Amino acid sequence: MNKPESPRTPLHDGVLERLRQMIIRCELQPGDRISEADLGRTFGVSRTPLREALKILSAEGLVDIRPHKGAIVADISMDEISETFALMSALELMAGPLVCERVSNIDLQMLDSLIQEMDACQLRNDLMTYFELNTEFHNRIIRLTGNSVLTQVYVDMFGKLQRARYRVNYDPQRWHESSTEHHWIMESLRARDGEELGVRLKEHNARTATAVVEGLKASSLANAQRD
């Protein structure tokens, strides 16, 4: 039915990735029940690999599994969003000095070109690609710490928040602000000022947090009125 693809990659890996994307992109919304049989049919696989994928997503916090009652897409509360942003602030504060110790000119070039692409996205109003590039930008910076444990945690957090970002109607003004902040961040990087970089990353993060939380409040308010 499907093309053979590569028989080397286990089936549940593909299922896992597809499910994760569906959840992050809000195609499956928080609270949605996940029927093993149904999803198995849509993916064309049996329940076994699907269950394995669900267990992993549960460990990642993207789904909740209630014994004998099935899996649902995990809800992410406003509190959890705020707490996650707060945690990321701490990680970025830690990252600043480490990154500046290790960042090379080639790294700077690479980040610059990412920013250029992001600016281009902004001009043609391509929010989706912007999100992906933005993720790439921030993850790369953290990866420059050379601390892979830190990076792993950061990337996970970013992924969890991505759902929230997709949900809010991004404010054009905030979008512009954000780009400016990116340029400031690059400045600190070029100056190799670790403390300053940490602070700027942290502040950028805090502003994004505010924007996302405000956006969510607004949209949930709109929903409440609609109901």
Q: Which residues bind a copy of itself (CB under 8 A)?
A: 8-10, 12-13, 48, 51-52, 55-56, 58-60, 67-68, 79-80, 83-84, 86-87, 89-91, 93-94, 147-150, 153, 157
**Are residues 108 and 141 in contact, defined by beta-carbon separation less than 8 angstroms?**
no
Could you give phi then psi for residue 73, rounded to 5 degrees?
-65, 125
Residue 31 is a binding residue for DNA (CB under 7 A): no
Distance CA 223, CA 227 (A): 6
Per-residue string for binding with DNA, 62-101, x by CB under 7 A? ---x-xxxxx------------------------------
Smallest distance, Å, CB 45 to DNA?
A: 4
CB of 110 to a copy of itself, least distance (A): 23
Sketch the per residue contact string, 3 through 22, with DNA: x for CB under 7 A, - otherwise: ----xx-xxx----------
Nearest approach in angstroms of CB 59 to DNA is 14
Q: Is 77 left (phi over 0), alpha (psi -120 to 50) or beta?
A: beta
The least CB distance from residue 19 to a copy of itself, in Å, is 13
Looking at the Cβ atoms of 11 and 164, the one nearer to DNA is: 11
Residue 149 binds which one of DNA, a copy of itself, none, with CB within 5 to 8 A depending on kind?
A: a copy of itself
Chain residues in the site for DNA (CB under 7 A): 7-8, 10-12, 33-38, 44-49, 51-52, 65, 67-71
